[in-house]
Chains A and B, each alone.
Chain A
Amino acid sequence: MAAQSNLKNMVMVLGLTCLLCSAVLGGAYALTKDPIDAASKAKMDKAIGAVLPAFDETAPEAVEVDGKTYNYYKALKGGETVGYAVESTVVGFGGPLSLMVGVTPDGVVYNTSVLSHSETPGLGAKCNTDARFMAQWEGFNPAEKILTVKKDGGDVDAITASTITSRAYALAVKNAVDAVKSIGGPVHE
């Protein structure tokens, strides 16, 4: 069935296949680049929208706290700052845990959203689905409550059987709040 092998046709067929396939992929890459960028931007925008009050525009900026750089989006409405959406990554139970934390200019957490995580399915992964755990971040005021889990003497309700994930989540929120403080916004404390 298959053709006889000799050096010439082997090199030719293999070379031609590689060339053709790379060309196809190059084309496909060029065509899908915009949708891919749009999809990742849409994901970011959705996360920002979920953690901040209504706004007109956002501006990406960065701030350094204790040698760690935080990317954040300053949200403006009618020229006035309504909040900051801070990307905050910490070490969870299974690996990096990355959050988008919305903080209003008075230093109160508006809401949080998980960007990516590698926590155990059904346990730590609930930080993304458990309604009770997620609801407590809405309007969490670090000036009145302590941003650590109850086991450590704080005010954060941990996810059942996932103290380490909950602890990491609280730390990520705390880091974000600290980052907003050092942005120099009018934080009342």
Chain B
Amino acid sequence: MEYFLIIISAIFVNNIVLAQFLGICPYLGVSNKLSTATGMSMAVCFVITLATLVTYLINKYLLVPFQLEFLQTIAFILVIAALVQMVEIVLKKVSPSLYQALGIFLPLITTNCAVLGVAITVVTKEFTFGLPSHMLNLGEALVYAFATSLGYGLAMVIFAGIREHLAMNDVPKAFKGVPIALVSVGILALAFMGFSGMVK
């Protein structure tokens, strides 16, 4: 039941793009076409879950015991950068077809603040999910990270669909491109606000 609440909360109620404002740059950058949006979402999903696993363990077994929490930012970003590189290399060797699909998005992910954002959030913030507020344990953290990235994918795919239609419409010159996209995201966020308060 608790995992279910985490999933609903992370996908709909606290959607990472529409409510938490994380990962907006790639969100606006690659949502022009449905196919690239899907590819990017899958790559992000993979990296966020993996990065959360590694940074959670590093934080718990290295930084906290040695009282080095102030190195969190620097350690996490290095781990994420290294991880992305590694995923790229491994994917290239193991599954060329998957690499073809996700490869071009991987370098972009290091500077996707959604990854670092989720990694920092799960080790610093207290969550409730229907229980008294507590720090997440590893299982919850992973479910949260995975569900959050699913929410990212959902927002991305919906928006790519909208943009494909927008591209065919006659938009005033000053609105062309990003401005009209932002206004559309605003309306999408308004719709997602209907979920707020559903899960605490």
Give the interface of A toward B (CB within 8 A): 21-22, 25, 29, 68, 89, 91-96, 120, 164
Contact = CB atoms under 8 A, between A and B. Distances in A.
B132 A68 contact: yes
Contacts of A96: 126, 128, 133
Contact of A91 (B70, B196, B200): B200
Q: Is the interface of A mostly helix, strand, loop or mixed?
A: mixed
Contacts of A94: 196-197, 200
Contacts of B196: 93-94, 120
A124 to B, nearest CB: 9
Contacts of A29: 70
Given A68-B132, A120-B196, A164-B197, A95 B127 contact: yes
Interface in B125-169: 126-128, 130, 132-133
25 contacts: A21-B74, A22-B71, A22-B74, A25-B70, A25-B71, A25-B74, A29-B70, A68-B132, A89-B132, A91-B128, A91-B130, A93-B196, A93-B197, A93-B200, A94-B196, A94-B197, A94-B200, A95-B126, A95-B127, A95-B128, A95-B133, A95-B200, A96-B126, A96-B133, A120-B196
Interface footprint category on B: 10 to 19
Interface of B: 70-71, 74, 126-128, 130, 132-133, 196-197, 200
Q: Is the interface of B mostly helix, strand, loop or mixed?
A: loop
Which of B74, B130, B196, B197 has the most chain A CB atoms inside 10 A of its CB? Answer: B197
Contacts, number: 32
A25 B127 CA distance: 29
A86 to B, nearest CB: 16
